[in-house]
Amino acid sequence: MDKIYLDQLEFFAYHGVFDHEKRDGQTFFVSAVLELDLTAAGESDDLETTVNYGEVYDLIADVTLNRQFDLIEKLALTLIEELFAAFPPLTAVTIRVDKPKAPGTTCKFPAAVELRRERK
């Protein structure tokens, strides 16, 4: 299947289990792989025959910036569900959410989750 990639979209948001994460916020990176048939777009050079990745960015930004989740797993799954709802041509979506400064008990460390779902 053909793929569209949006890599390392940077957002300052307020996700996390701890109160200070919800209060102070931190940087997150979201990457998306959108699977769909791009044959018509390649042949026609017409935006109407593909998924507008500007609109995809806007959806990812809206969910990431305007909702709050304890877990990045929930953020990733919500993004997938919203992308499927908004863009019917998608056959599969992979979302990776990176949290470069996840709080540990003694230090901060990079953490990430990646979820892939196929349209049912």
Catalytically annotated residues: 99
Burial of residue 4, with CB atoms counted within 10 A of its CB: 0-12 exposed, 13-18 middle, 19 or more buried: middle
d(CA 77, CA 58): 17
Element (H, E) at 61: helix 53-66
